Structure 1
């Protein structure tokens, strides 16, 4: 007898199989019990008929508690009434691990309670669906970049300097010297791009921002590509193709998860249509001022309400181009005809989800980068290796970073980024 997973039920119609599962819920009448089963791949229903299995098996079924683990034996059948399409007619039940007084019941629970029980909350159908979409976005990311001959490079998590400035770093002792948890792998990826042409990384990054918004995590995962011989204009094409590819992959491969979350597929379909609209920072300020945002003046960074209004004006992801030099990092290339802006872009997601990508063309002039490092008050010696990239065969190069959890939150249509991380780290939470 073959042991299968629920997701493969369609391959075994009419066969007697075994499935290891947990009891998510159950209901029973005098002669029949319905078990809602999950095994990590999907959910489906198991049916226990008293007259078919006998008193002993039926009593086991009736007495099962939520999250008890079981080994089920039975026949796979089609079930046209369910979205999943299949069920199992149970013939035998072996209890593996009992579960009593499971703390998360079908009733409503407060957010803090659920976060305190995140290790158990992950088992729920909604959290399962979100993690399935996260997994698909990761899978699709590797496929997208591998198909385009990018080489995956793993930058260090412990660094001796800061790519984005020193205000939100986690500092640690490194054998008597100061070290920091990485904010970004970008500087190292620039070095790798000079060796391999096109590279990308995917790994954890850390920002010690004391922010409690629904968009911020202390620890999050970043997809960071870097491309040699690539202008910003060419990079923008890669960015929009990548995001559209992610959305399409979720539409193609996460049908059940989207149903669980109630995500409108027609809305997601719009996000696969290219090219995405673009607006300059200058015009974005004008757009905001003309629509009641009098608090925004040229030179300000945009806040959540501003980004939401801009993106909703287009109903698609939108690029905001060429921000003021004063509010962007030292490594961005200066604009060829203006002193006050740099060649960069943020991609803002619609529906109020904010920035999901930040990118730029990188400055290649040695003296300009050195001057900017000094302007930022950074230690020149710590960046000497980075300056070397401008001395030995520099080329035009561009790159960007996509925050995984923000992308998951947006594509899933959920409200808070904390649900997009298996075990989120927030300003007030490092448990569990």
Structure 2
């Protein structure tokens, strides 16, 4: 019977066959221990010389790293294994022999591993990170489907930009100028006017020449937009959503988190509600902490966000940023025109902003004025303005960066490990 490593718990005491690759091995004169992987997980195969034909045992001792094979044996429970099971191997059939696999169990430099990203993905650590990423995606669909959101797919090629074109990738669209999308937000606002509550999940692109551990050139965003939702309503959705994905990873990826060495006690506390401070309060806090470089009207950098986050054991909202720091589409605070109804959600442990969101401007004339003030082409935004012309309503939305969220939840230091094939300032290969 063929099965997968993920399914072996259903076959204890049975003889099964698994298609696998050899991740590693060690052997003595009488026993060979094979570390096997099949994409669904890892399991140890034990080959006892006295219990198999000599040919099988010699094959087990000589087999090379990343050789593909069919392994047949009996599944047994094993309390010493984090996985909880192992296979008593009875037979091995080599499918394809791997020769001189470049990533050996020794230490390798980051650039070497990035050059071999197509193979590095096979490692236990990268496997664990990708499983956490997948669980966050699964839990995202679960949450928004449960809450009555409709999935909508905005275009990747656009003729305009939510935040200007200075950091966009330009391309020619036949005779017109076009850009790779930096956000699907504007289109999602149109979708919200049609469907009420919507969300998108897709790739976004920023031509930002940054080399920090928090930045990628191509990354994935989850972007909900909600009609008739004001600023406070949106914050509640955000904290409930983040709580849901964290608790889902804890429940369904415990083995992967253990493999990554993640301190799960720091994640167990991530439950709504989250603390909130205003931008004004954040500036005062930072000045009291000795950040003499920060004044009202300045944007926060990574050290500032980290200092604020260290005061909390949950993600923290920083709300009501100055109008001058934020994009043109954000709703002014009705009590203060110099700030907008927005929030950045800062993750604990130095991982920085994982969500940016706001109530959107719903007044036609003010939005038109803002477009002009930001030197944007009114013709390119004509359709966006028309959303405020035909039945405009208060509405809000946000965007969560998937890779930063994966890095935080899995405890990985650099976002380059959180996406299968990272695009960085100096990397377009493989």
Number of the residue aligned with 2:143: 144
Number of the residue aligned with 1:386: 384
TM-fit CA distance, 1:315: 2.2
TM-fit CA distance, 1:208: 0.2
Structure 2 distance, partners of 1:49, 1:337, is 76
Q: Deviations over 1:384-424 (max 9, x none)?
A: 10000001011110000000000000000110010001000
Structure 1 distance, partners of 2:270, 2:96, is 44
Structure 2 distance, partners of 1:302, 1:166, is 22
TM-fit CA distance, 1:327: 1.0
1:354 matches 2:363: no
Structure 1 distance, partners of 2:387, 2:403, is 31
Cα contact 2:306–2:349 (8 A) shared by 1: yes
1:423 to 421, 424, 427: 421
What are the equivalent positions in structure 2 for 1:17-36 lying under 5 Å apart?
Answer: 17-36=16-35
Secondary structure of 2:26's counterpart equals strand
Cα contact 2:315–2:348 (8 A) shared by 1: yes
Gaps of 5+ in 2: none
Cα contact 2:206–2:218 (8 A) shared by 1: yes
Q: Deviations over 1:363-384 (max 9, x none)?
A: 0110100000001101001101
Structure 2 distance, partners of 1:332, 1:23, is 54
Number of the residue aligned with 1:224: 223
Number of the residue aligned with 1:330: 328
Structure 1 distance, partners of 2:316, 2:30, is 58
Number of the residue aligned with 1:236: 235
Aligned length: 430
Structure 1 distance, partners of 2:65, 2:101, is 7
Secondary structure of 2:396's counterpart equals strand
Number of the residue aligned with 2:71: 72
Number of the residue aligned with 1:101: 100
TM-fit CA distance, 1:50: 1.3
Structure 2 distance, partners of 1:76, 1:164, is 56
Number of the residue aligned with 2:246: 247
Number of the residue aligned with 2:404: 406
Number of the residue aligned with 1:160: 159
Secondary structure of 2:332's counterpart equals coil
What are the equivalent positions in structure 2 for 1:217-366 lying under 5 Å apart?
Answer: 217-272=216-271, 274-366=272-364
Number of the residue aligned with 2:86: 87
Secondary structure of 1:47's counterpart equals strand
Alpha-carbon RMSD: 0.6
Structure 1 distance, partners of 2:141, 2:60, is 43
Per the normalisation by structure 2, the TM-score is 0.99
1:215 matches 2:197: no
Structure 1 distance, partners of 2:125, 2:118, is 14
TM-fit CA distance, 1:54: 1.3
Structure 2 distance, partners of 1:420, 1:28, is 34
Structure 2 distance, partners of 1:141, 1:315, is 23
Secondary structure of 2:337's counterpart equals coil
Q: Which runs of 4+ in 1 moved over 2 A?
A: none
Secondary structure of 2:375's counterpart equals coil
Secondary structure of 2:383's counterpart equals helix
Cα contact 2:266–2:313 (8 A) shared by 1: no
Structure 2 distance, partners of 1:407, 1:222, is 10
TM-fit CA distance, 1:258: 0.5
Number of the residue aligned with 1:6: 5
Cα contact 2:11–2:75 (8 A) shared by 1: yes
TM-fit CA distance, 1:276: 0.5
